C-alpha cells in the first residue's frame, strides 16, 4: 500500500464524528475489556442500516453497545434490534448506551446467551439485517444461521473480516485467521449472495441475500 493510501484510510476512519453517547459507550467497552467497532465501521453500519430500510435486525456480539447504537441510528423508528451476548455485564452496559441514545426500550431485544444456542430459536427469513461481531471460531455456524434468518434482499455484515490484516498474509495460519479466510471465500462463492469486502476498519464483509 502506498503511503498516500494508508493516509487516506486513516483519514476515512477518523472522519466520522462521534457524540457523547458513543464516546461513553466506548469508555464502558474499554473498562469491560471489550473491543468496540471503530468509527469508520460505526458510520458504515448506520448507512447500511438506513439504506437497507431494515425493520428487523440481529446483532451477534452486543459488547457495550457501540455497534448497537450505530445500527439503531440507521434503522427506522419502528425497527427492532435483537442483540445477543453471552456476558450479562456487557448487556447491562449496552442497555445503558441504548437508553442514553434516546432509543425506546421496545426497539431493542437484548438476549443473554451463547449465540450458538440462541440463533436456532429465531424465526427463518424474518430479518432484514444480521451483524456478526463475536467469537470467530464459531463464525461459519453464525453465517449459516444468518443466511437462514435473512429475508430475500436482507443484508449480512461481518466485522473484522480481515482479522487485523492477517487474512491477506498467506503466512498467517492461526485458527481465527484461517476461519475468516475460509468464510470470506465461501461467501464470495455462495450463489445465494452478492458480496463485497470493504476495507473499512479491520475489514467489513457485506453480503446481500439474492
Ligand X SMILES: C[S@@+](CC[C@H](N)C(=O)[O-])C[C@H]1O[C@@H](n2cnc3c(N)ncnc32)[C@H](O)[C@@H]1O
- Binding residues for ligand X (CB under 6 A): 29, 34-37, 61-67, 84-87, 90, 114-116, 133-135, 138
Cell of 49: 442500516
Q: How far is the CB of 205 from ligand X (least distance, A)?
A: 15
Per the listing, cell 425493520 goes with 55
Cα separation, 140 vs 147, whole angstroms: 11
- Report how far apart, in Å, the C-alpha atoms of 77 and of each of 2, 53, 73, 105, 172 are: 42, 10, 9, 12, 43
Closer to ligand X by CB, 50 or 190: give it.
50
Closer to ligand X by CB, 63 or 154: give it.
63
Closer to ligand X by CB, 121 or 189: give it.
121
Closer to ligand X by CB, 54 or 115: give it.
115
Q: How far is the CB of 180 from ligand X (least distance, A)?
A: 14
CB 141 within 8 A of CB 60: no
Sheet holding 127-132, edge to edge: 108-112, 80-85, 56-60, 127-132, 150-158, 204-209, 193-198
Among all residues, whose Cβ is closest to ligand X? 63
Q: How far is the CB of 200 from ligand X (least distance, A)?
A: 13
Q: How far is the CB of 75 from ligand X (least distance, A)?
A: 15
Closer to ligand X by CB, 18 or 87: give it.
87
Cα separation, 151 vs 21, whole angstroms: 31
Q: How far is the CB of 115 from ligand X (least distance, A)?
A: 4
CB atoms within 10 A of CB 113: 13
Amino acid at each position: 500500500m502506498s503511503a498516500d493510501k494508508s493516509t487516506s484510510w486513516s483519514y476515512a476512519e477518523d472522519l466520522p464524528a462521534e457524540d457523547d453517547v458513543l464516546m461513553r459507550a466506548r469508555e464502558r467497552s474499554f473498562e469491560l475489556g471489550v473491543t468496540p467497532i471503530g468509527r469508520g465501521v460505526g458510520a458504515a453500519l448506520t448507512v447500511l442500516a438506513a439504506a437497507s430500510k431494515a425493520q428487523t435486525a440481529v446483532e451477534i456480539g452486543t459488547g457495550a453497545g457501540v455497534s448497537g447504537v450505530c445500527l439503531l441510528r440507521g434503522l427506522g423508528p419502528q425497527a427492532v434490534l435483537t442483540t445477543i451476548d453471552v456476558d450479562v455485564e456487557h448487556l447491562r452496559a449496552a442497555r445503558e448506551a441504548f437508553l442514553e441514545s434516546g432509543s425506546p426500550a421496545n426497539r431493542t431485544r437484548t438476549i443473554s446467551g451463547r449465540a450458538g444456542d440462541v440463533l436456532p430459536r429465531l424465526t427463518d427469513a424474518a430479518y432484514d439485517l444480521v451483524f456478526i461481531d463475536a467469537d470467530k471460531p464459531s463464525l461459519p455456524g453464525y453465517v449459516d444461521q444468518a443466511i437462514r434468518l435473512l429475508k430475500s434482499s436482507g443484508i449480512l455484515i461481518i466485522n473484522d473480516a480481515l482479522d487485523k490484516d492477517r487474512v491477506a498474509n498467506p503466512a498467517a495460519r492461526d485458527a481465527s485467521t484461517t476461519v475468516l479466510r475460509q468464510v470470506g471465500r465461501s461467501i464470495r462463492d455462495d450463489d445465494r449472495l452478492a458480496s463485497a469486502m470493504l476495507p473499512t476498519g479491520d475489514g467489513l464483509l457485506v453480503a446481500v441475500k439474492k
